[in-house]
Structure 1
Amino acid sequence: MILHIDGDSFFASCAQAVYPHLRGKPVVTGSERGVVTAASTEAKKLGISRQTSMYEIKKYFPQCIIVESNYEIYELFSQKMFAILRRYSPDVEKYSVDEGFVDLSGVLKSRRREGDWAIGWGGGEEDERRRLGETIKNEIEKSLEISVSVGIGPNKSIAKLASNFQKPSGLTVVKPEEIENFLKQIPIEDVWGIGRATTKLLQNYRIKTAGDFAKKDEKFVRAVLTKPGIEIWHELNGEYIFTIDPTVKTSFQSISSTHTFTPPSSDKNFVYSQLVTNLECACQKARLYNLHTNKISFFLKGQDFSYKYGAIDLPEKTATPTVIMKKMHGIFNTLFQQGKLYRATGVILSNLSKMEDVQESLLEDQVQTGKSSAVFGAIDGLSRKYGERVVKTGSTMFLGKQKHVKGIGLPRFEVEV
């Protein structure tokens, strides 16, 4: 028995949890990209959807609150959500930052041995699967103050369709005997793994719903589709094909922080402050994962969409931005062109390794390094207690010197795994 959990308007929901004054108000994220990346339930009621341009938001929906994406906050919420899921079952697969699958079969068998619940799909509204789903859903929503939807079914495909059936904050359980009627209500394009091209192909055969597809005989499916489509067909017929992958990713190829600012600027100090802000945020992300780096690259993006790149190779690995800034500033000076308008900066940390695997250098000033690590460790603690970037380096002081149009929030972060 598989449970699928999906965060409702996850980015916007996280923003409302972090900033309580946003709750109950129409909130959209994505100001740095120029389009909506997530819209709160209140914003969706106004007719706003993903990919709505920020121009349209400002013109037609002035009541909306625009929030900049903050991928570090999203990742923290994600970690907490999956930590809760793993308390119920070791078989948890993180499919994306805001959704995952849980195999609850072992949990139910354990409870049966303990005499808590009976196994089986019987029991109507008091079915043990529904009660377990409600327990997990309620704990996540209460602990994180975000909305999630849960679907439960005999396999991944059915569970994923079920979680999307009663959004937001829905819980749908699909029993084996209910699959046929359930799939009649699902448009074929909503089936997990069925893309636009396959949808168009199947519609040419008058297949409009997932139910239409499931009723086709296997000979037809094998003649028309390739292996992925055949496997989906088996799952829609109640078979268990796609297994849970509980592997937790512990290695990272890179960490990046980028930010687009509006309006563009030719102010050298302002652009450098933006670059340093990205560096600080990327290093904070590295420390969060207990990582060090000695390869740093960064870029300046012009208003004309041209790029200038810089690269830094350090003799020793670090997660302290002040160490990197010593070399970054000189390279920045050679890249920056006076009078040119810039619209974005970005920093990428690569060649990452765990801090405990980093050997101390005999040449580096270990006392100074220890002091810097202690300072930024304290800053991380203050950030967790009082909010992100409550303490900043002096190099970012010029951010306030230019009138800057933006939403609530911080630069975006990405972890490549």
Structure 2
Amino acid sequence: MRSVRPTTNKNFLLLALSSLLLLLVVETKAQENSPYSRYGLGDLIPAQNILNRGMGGLSSAFADYQAVNFNNPASYASLKITTLDFGLDYTSRTLNAQNPTRKFKSANLIPSYVQIGVPLSKKRNWGMNFGLRPISRVEYNITSTTRLAGIDSAEYNYFGNGGTYQFYTGMAYGTKSLSVGFNAGYMFGNKQYTTRFSLINDSIAYKSTNSSDTTHFGGLFLNLGIQYKIKLSKSTFIRLGAHGNLQSNLNATRNISRATVEYNSSVGFQNIDSIYFGENQKGKITYPAAWGVGIMFEKEGNWMVGAELNSANWNDYRYFGMADKMSNAWTARFGGQFIPDDKSPKFWQRVAYRLGTSFGKDPIQLDKTLPVYSVSFGTGFPVRRNVYSNQYTAVNTSFEIGFRGNNASNIKENIFRLSLGFNLSDIWFNKPKYQ
């Protein structure tokens, strides 16, 4: 007789550590070009796992026995099996500038997150999670040229890179109806901004000026979540959810450099004279509070549909006491999921089909408000030998088409994002035992 011995194999830990290494290595090599990442802490990365993104990002009132929903930590109380969850994003951006007319294109492939959800009790609704995920990215390289009288032109080069990350652990406890949970951890990152100004003339070689700011920061953060389940019948129910993070004051250290530079064909630009250098300047970066509330109608194992509202107080963002071109943001989300028959022997009957949309206001506030809107659809493929197998691994996909800005703003951004997520149950790493 074949049975499964419930002991964790070393391969599970090895795969978890390999996924963490992949997140760090691939992230450092990703390339893109987004002028909007100049503001705040950079372009914000979607704060949901791949499964939820396929439904327009619904996550406040979402919980599942296998899916690890880090956006609302109260959902950890629903975990029933140990799950390694990690995701990858391929993002393509096209930016169209109106005045002057220009177009920027870029694409990148980066990990979305890596996390492990663990049920802490078979008898109680008690679970935990720990993981690492990127919060934002800074990556741009832009050149702007202006004609000047008496000189051919003036050229401005803007460079930026960096990113913000969260390493977190969370826990949740629940009754039959109510679940509460938290995430706590360390938020850290860096950002570097450089501006180079050059005068260009056919007969005169002018020197250029280079201005560079490099900042490293880090600090603690806390997220809270709550969910309440209302049973309507034997298999249908309503789940209400709310979550939010407190405002965080991150410790920051920056170096500022102002210098005259000269171009050398063999080494590129090099410093000729240092105009100003400020080293190890201490300060704070204020990361704003945010919240989300949602409702989900669900028939267990068949369908779910819901709505959600998110808001973030980016007007409170500060960098060394200075405000940026940021304002409060909000997003409304609608979406759902449908599984034809989760007990069917036919594979396509057991696939989860997801659809969603979102719209709202971006936190960046330039001359005008930047509207954002998107549509998404996704799938969840169960990976089992047969319908009665104890294997619960799933492969999730999400396809998103989004827009930021409009014809009234100077830059309109079109975004296409393809995401792939893997929910790997530890049953894959257990050793079979015959008796």
TM class by smaller structure: under 0.3
TM-score (norm 2): 0.21
TM-score (norm 1): 0.22
Identify the structure with the greater strand proportion. Answer: 2
Identify the structure with the greater helix proportion. Answer: 1
